[in-house]
């Protein structure tokens, strides 16, 4: 954000959107909101998201609400779009 501000960008906040979860996610320790690295894909006008694998680059952050223990495939979730490196 500091470098973007020096470049003249007024707001350095990532874009937020909704996507359909492509896989089930089990949360081991609920209680805190989590941001997980994720990958977006598009099928027609539909956006789908899944967790990024270990060495895979991410293009978004998946928001996992604090009190959830399980997110089911097909559920609508919030994602923050981040620029790819």
Planar angle of CA 49, 13, 28, nearest 5 degrees? 45
Q: What is the pLDDT of residues 24-43, one digit of tens each?
A: 999 988 889 999 999 999 88
Question: What tokens were used for 82?
Answer: 């981040």
Write down the mean pLDDT value for the chain: 87
Question: pTM of the predicted model, to two decimals?
Answer: 0.76
The percent of residues above 70 in pLDDT, for the chain, comes to 91
Whether residue 52 contacts residue 39, with contact meaning beta carbons closer than 8 Å, is answered with yes
Confidence of residue 9 (pLDDT cuts 50, 70, 90): confident
pLDDT surpasses 60 at 6:
yes
């Amino acid at each position: 954000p500091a470098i973007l501000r020096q470049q003249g960008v007024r707001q350095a906040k990532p874009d937020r959107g909704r996507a359909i979860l492509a896989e089930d996610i089990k949360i081991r320790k609920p209680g805190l909101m989590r941001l997980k690295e994720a990958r977006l894909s598009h099928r027609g006008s539909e956006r789908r998201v899944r967790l990024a694998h270990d060495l895979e680059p991410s293009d978004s952050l998946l928001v996992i609400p604090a009190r959830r223990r399980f997110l089911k495939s097909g559920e609508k979730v919030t994602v923050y779009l981040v620029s790819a490196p």
